[in-house]
Amino acid sequence: MITREAAANLLTSANTYRYAMSGRVRRTSELHEPPPLVQAADLDSYLSDAQVPRRISDRLDGLLLSVQRRMDRIGDKPRLSLEQDYPIAWCRDAGEFHAFLVIAANSGIVLMDTTDTPGTYAIEISILGWKRLDELQGGAPGTGLQCFVAMRFCDEMTPAYEKGMEPAIRACGYSPFRVDRVEHNNKICDVIVAELRRSRLVVADFTFNRGGVYFEAGYALGLGIPVIWTRRAMDSEEPHFDTRQYNHIEWTAPDDLRAKLQARIEVTAPLKS
């Protein structure tokens, strides 16, 4: 849902904005998320939160998951229209989507067949594609399905992590990573940057408003990694104004955090669709 003023601004903006909007709207629809109301004042923040994947491998994974969601049984060959379905791969238009599908076919994860409808292709997931889906949906160690947890590390927050965040993250197929729980001989900032690059998802908790959490969340956004924002509801400090527009999970207790975080991960970065 979008106001007339926001729609007018979108139509006069650069093509990059329109393709980001298309990709986010399609993602919202496919994951059955409630549609937001986008107003003119919120347009830039909504688009900056679109989290367009930077890596081609992430876009290929997204294509596999989208194709699988369209299947009722193994052997189905969902049809993709170049003119209508290019947003599922965060492409700018039909031409880019065709090039992307060719890359997907050449990588061996899908088979791409022409149909009797021009500009429409039947897509079949290959054995290699099903293997990749098993990795994505199984959360097996070594598959790169790491979730980086940014938060204040203190005794007061230990129950929130051990009874809230960790079980929610594992239930969704990810392996949680906390930088304070690994042994290393490197500079801590180097470890943080390296592990963020290895992660597929970031959970950032802003209880106590730690500056490091802002850095880690911002770095992840720059890499195109999805970030889930959380904070304890009774925390007296409000998030910084640069991040207030992001939809924070407001939690009151570890069990509340666990339920809300698991639900948010399942719609933000699902592995078991």
SS3 labels along 135-153: HHHHCCCCCCCEEEEECCC
pLDDT digits (tens, 9 = 90+) for 87-116: 999 898 999 999 999 999 999 999 999 999
Higher pLDDT, 245 or 241: 245
Higher pLDDT, 154 or 14: 154
**What's at 103, amino acid-wise?**
I
Q: Full-prediction pTM beyond 0.85?
A: no
Q: How far are the Cα atoms of 90, 128, 218, 238 from residue 209, in angstroms, in the given order?
A: 33, 44, 14, 8
- Phi and psi angles of residue 98, each rounded to the nearest 5 degrees, phi first: -60, -45
Residues 6+ apart with CB under 8 A from 95: 82
Q: Does position 140 have pLDDT exceeding 50, yes or no?
A: no
Which of 40-54, 100-114, 124-138, 158-172 has the lowest average pLDDT? 40-54
Q: Specify burial of residue 193 (Cβ count, 10 A radius: 0-12, 13-18, 19+).
A: middle
End-to-end CA distance of the chain: 25
Q: Does position 135 have pLDDT exceeding 80, yes or no?
A: no
Average pLDDT over the chain reads: 84
Q: Of 102, 37, 24, which is closest to residue 268 (Cα–Cα)?
A: 24
User: pLDDT-based confidence at 141, cuts 50/70/90?
Assistant: very low
**CATH fold for domain 56-137:** Arc Repressor Mutant, subunit A (1.10.10)
User: pLDDT-based confidence at 143, cuts 50/70/90?
Assistant: very low
What is the CB neighbour count within 10 angstroms for residue 241? 7
CATH class name, domain 141-268: alpha beta
pLDDT at res. 16: 60
pLDDT at res. 273: 44
Domain ranges of the chain: 4-48, 56-137, 141-268
158 and 165 Cβ atoms separated by less than 8 Å: no
Residue with tokens 């060959």: 77
Which of 110-114, 129-133, 182-186 has the lowest average pLDDT? 182-186
**What's at 273, amino acid-wise?**
S
